[in-house]
Amino acid sequence: MSSVQFDHVTVIKKSNVYFGGACISHTVQFEDGTKKTLGVILPTEQPLTFETHVPERMEIISGECRVKIADSAESELFRAGQSFYVPGNSMFHIEADEVLDYVCHLEG
Amino acid sequence: MSSVQFDHVTVIKKSNVYFGGACISHTVQFEDGTKKTLGVILPTEQPLTFETHVPERMEIISGECRVKIADSAESELFRAGQSFYVPGNSMFHIEADEVLDYVCHLEG
C-alpha cells in the first residue's frame, strides 16, 4: 500500500514539461540519493510516447490510463494503485482517460 | 536569492488541477507545519482567475506572466525571481506567456 505522500525529501522547484504541458513532473530526491519523478499526465487525443533510458516502474496514484509497452500489440489498462514496468532503452505509449497522477520510479 | 529546491519536506503525491490542467500544483509541507504549493501554469489565451482565502505570495521560479490583482486597471509583468502579493479574500488574474513555474507561499 503506497503512502499518499513522500516524507523527508528534496523537491526541485522547476518542473519537467513534456508535450507542451500534457505531461508535467517534478523531480523528488530521497535521503539515500535515489530520485523519482512525481507527475501528471492530462487526457490527450493521441497516446504520448516516452523513451526510457534506465528501467522504470510507473505507479498510478490516481486516474487511469491505457499503456502499450515497446512494440506490444495490445494496450493494457492501469488504474490507481497499479504499476507497470518498462525496460531500459525502450519506450511506452500512454493515454490518460482522465487526469493521471503518477510516480515514476527509476529502477536503474 | 531563492534556492532551486526544497529540502526536508513532505510532498503530497496527488496533484491539484485547475482549469483542465492549465494550472497544476503539488502541496509541499515543511517541518514547521507550514504549507506551500509548487506548481506550473501553462500559456492560455485568456487570463486565469484565482481567488485567495489567506494572503498569498506568488514567487515566479521560471517563465514570465502578466498579473492583475483584484480590480486593478493595469496588468503588471513578473519574471523569474520576482514575487507578487495578493491579499486574503481577494483574487488575481494571471496569464503566462510561456510555461511558468511558481511557488505559492500561503502567508496566513
Grid cell 482567475 is found at: B49
Instruction: Please give the pLDDT value at position A107.
Output: 85
The per-residue pLDDT for range B26-75, each reduced to its tens digit, is 999 999 999 999 999 999 999 999 999 999 999 999 999 999 999 898 99
Residue A72 has pLDDT above 70, yes or no: yes
Q: A19: helix, coil or strand?
A: helix
Cβ atoms of A16 and A25 closer than 8 Å: yes
> CA-to-CA distance for A75 and A1, rounded, in angstroms?
25
The fold of the B24-104 domain, in CATH, is Jelly Rolls (2.60.120)
Residue B2 has pLDDT above 90, yes or no: no
B residues 41-80 lying closer than 8 A (beta carbon) to A? 42, 61-62
Tell me, yes or no, if B17 comes closer than 8 A to chain A by beta carbon.
yes
Closest chain A residue to the Cα of B27, Cα to Cα:
A5
Grid cell 495490445 is found at: A74
Outline where chain A has alpha helix (H): none
Instruction: Please give the pLDDT value at position B3.
Output: 92
Band (pLDDT 50/70/90 cuts) for residue B11 is very high
Least confident span in A1-15, A45-59, B18-32, B57-71: A1-15
> CA-to-CA distance for B79 and A14, rounded, in angstroms?
14
Residue A1 has pLDDT above 70, yes or no: no
Band (pLDDT 50/70/90 cuts) for residue B107 is confident
**Mean pLDDT over the full length of chain A:** 95
Band (pLDDT 50/70/90 cuts) for residue B108 is low
| pTM, entire model | 0.94
DSSP B10-34: EEESSPEEEGGGTEEEEEEE-TTS-
Q: If you ran DSSP here, which 8-state letter would residue A47 be given?
A: -
Strands (E), chain A: 5-12, 16-18, 23-29, 35-41, 48-51, 56-62, 64-69, 76-79, 83-86, 91-96, 100-106
Query: Under an 8 A CB cutoff, do B10 and A15 touch?
Result: no
Residues 6+ apart with CB under 8 A from B5: A10, A11, A12, A13, A29
Band (pLDDT 50/70/90 cuts) for residue A71 is confident
Tell me, yes or no, if B6 comes closer than 8 A to chain A by beta carbon.
yes
Domain boundaries, chain A: 24-104
